[in-house]
């Protein structure tokens, strides 16, 4: 009888301790439930930004809870009503999507660590020369300098003469009085899109832009906002070959993207090769 009592006591102990072992306790306080799914306060962290009024905060939280509940109800309904085959296909898609996310993130981390992003001038020039036909302009480019001044500015003629001569001493003089200009750009060694000129300089528009599309041309325009002095050094028209310095950022990105694709292929190959070597990957016959 005593042995029987001991057996019963031991069995009871196993049952109750088993409940404690295998049932994970959750001390969190739920704020909403849909069937066996629970929403907790911690799920709302970051939902309401600082400075939001109490009324707006309440509305935001209530809307979030309703949207969560609707989503859970739809998912539960789908699990009950959709065929097992369709659910199995969805689960495969979810698994594949998860694998894709992890694989992409890992490859991107490896690429970031190993990719050489330095493109030398020689490399850019070689790519440019080999692919010149690709780099055709779809809009006009000009190299020019300009000054926008009030028509009553003091010493206008002197400013105009220095602007046209543009020797070193003239540049220095113009820089020293630039605070008097409404706007200006004296860097005439870079290519600028004609559309950008039209958007930045009020005196230039689609009707008079052709005055600027002539090499080594001085242009003076006037409107209600003042006088515009412009000196054009060089011009490239639509369908002309884009200059190297203008497309160099594009070339740099092309070269880096090409390296990236090659590196990804190499990394994938090396990962598989190492896995076979370390007996982490096997194909059974």
CA distance 239 to 135: 9
pTM of the model: 0.70
Mean pLDDT of 8-12: 38
Q: Is residue 219 pLDDT above 70, yes or no?
A: yes
146 C-beta neighbours (distance < 10 Å), count? 24
For the stretch 240-267, pLDDT in tens is 999 999 999 999 999 999 999 999 999 9
Among 128, 154, 141, 65, residue whose Cα is nearest residue 255: 128
Distance CA 191, CA 141 (A): 6
pLDDT bracket for residue 24 (50, 70, 90): low
Give residue 20's pLDDT.
47
Token pair, residue 212, equals: 């600027």
Q: What are the residue ranges spanned by the domains of the chain?
A: 31-82, 137-236
Q: Can you give the pLDDT at residue 25?
A: 58
In whole angstroms, give the CA distance from residue 146 to residue 183.
8
Residue 120 above 60 pLDDT? Answer: yes
pLDDT one-digit tens code per residue, 55-107: 999 999 999 999 999 999 999 999 999 999 999 999 999 999 999 999 999 99
Residue 29 pLDDT: 86
Task: Assign domain 137-236 to its CATH architecture.
Answer: Roll (3.10)
């Amino acid at each position: 009888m005593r042995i029987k009592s001991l057996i019963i006591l031991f069995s009871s102990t196993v049952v109750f301790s088993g409940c404690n072992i295998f049932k994970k306790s959750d001390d969190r306080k739920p704020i909403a439930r849909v069937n066996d799914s629970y929403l907790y306060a911690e799920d709302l962290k970051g939902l309401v930004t600082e400075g939001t009024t109490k009324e707006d905060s309440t509305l935001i939280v209530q809307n979030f809870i309703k949207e969560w509940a609707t989503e859970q109800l739809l998912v539960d309904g789908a699990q009950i009503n959709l065929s097992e085959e369709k659910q199995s296909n969805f689960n495969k898609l979810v698994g594949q999507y998860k694998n894709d996310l992890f694989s992409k993130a890992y490859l991107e981390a490896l690429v970031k660590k190993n990719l050489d992003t330095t493109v030398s001038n020689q490399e850019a020039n070689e790519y440019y020369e080999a692919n010149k036909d690709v780099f055709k302009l779809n809009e006009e480019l000009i190299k020019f300098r300009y000054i926008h001044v009030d028509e009553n500015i003091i010493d206008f003629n002197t400013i105009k003469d220095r602007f046209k001569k543009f020797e070193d001493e003239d540049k220095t003089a113009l820089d020293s009085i630039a605070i008097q200009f409404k706007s200006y750009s004296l860097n005439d060694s870079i290519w600028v899109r004609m559309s950008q000129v039209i958007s930045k300089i009020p005196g230039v528009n689609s009707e008079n832009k052709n005055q600027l599309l002539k090499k080594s041309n001085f242009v003076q325009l006037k409107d209600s906002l003042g006088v515009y002095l412009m000196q054009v050094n060089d011009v490239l028209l639509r369908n002309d070959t884009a200059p190297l310095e203008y497309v160099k950022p594009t070339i740099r990105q092309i070269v880096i993207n090409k390296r990236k694709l090659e590196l990804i292929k190499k990394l994938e190959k090396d990962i598989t090769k190492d896995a076979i070597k370390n007996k982490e990957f096997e194909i059974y016959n």
